[in-house]
Amino acid sequence: MNYPQTLEYMYSQLPMYQRIGAAAYRADLENTIAICNLLHHPYHNFKSVHIAGTNGKGSTAHMLASILQSKGLKVGLYTSPHLKDFRERIRINGKMIPKTKVAAFVTKYKKDFERIRPSFFEMTVGLAFQYFADEKIDIAVIEVGMGGRLDSTNVITPLVSVITNIGLDHTQFLGNTLAKIAAEKAGIIKPGIPVVIGETQPETRDVFREKADAGQSPIVFADEGYTSVFKGYSGNLRQWLTLDIYRNGELFIENLRCPLRGLYQSRNIAAVLQTVAVLNQSGYAIDEKDIRNGIQKVLAQTDCSAAGKRCRVAL
pLDDT in tens, 170-196: 555 576 799 999 999 999 999 999 999
Phi-psi region of 118 (alpha: psi -120 to 50; beta: other; left: phi over 0): beta
Nearest to 155 by CA among 290, 299, 292, 35: 35
Nearest to 86 by CA among 105, 64, 111, 66: 105
Length of the chain: 315
Band of the pLDDT at 169, cuts 50, 70, 90? low
pTM: 0.92
Sign of CA dihedral 210, 214, 215, 218: positive
Between residues 312 and 105, the one the model is more confident about: 105
Phi, psi of 246, rounded to the nearest 5 degrees? -115, 140
Q: Of the ranges 37-46, 234-243, 280-289, which one carries the lowest mean pLDDT score? A: 234-243
- For residue 132, count CB atoms less than 10 angstroms from its CB and return exposed for 0-12, middle for 13-18, buried for 19 or more: buried
* Per-residue model confidence as pLDDT tens digits over 267-305: 999 999 999 999 999 999 999 999 999 999 999 999 764
Mind giving me the DSSP string for 107-137?
Answer: HHHHHHHHHH---HHHHHHHHHHHHHHHTT-
State the distance between the two ends of the chain, measured CA to CA, in whole angstroms: 35
- What gap in Å lies between CA 230 and CA 244, rounded to an integer? 7
Phi, psi of 51, rounded to the nearest 5 degrees? -125, 125
Is 203 a residue whose pLDDT tops 70?
yes
CB count in 10 Å sphere of residue 128: 26
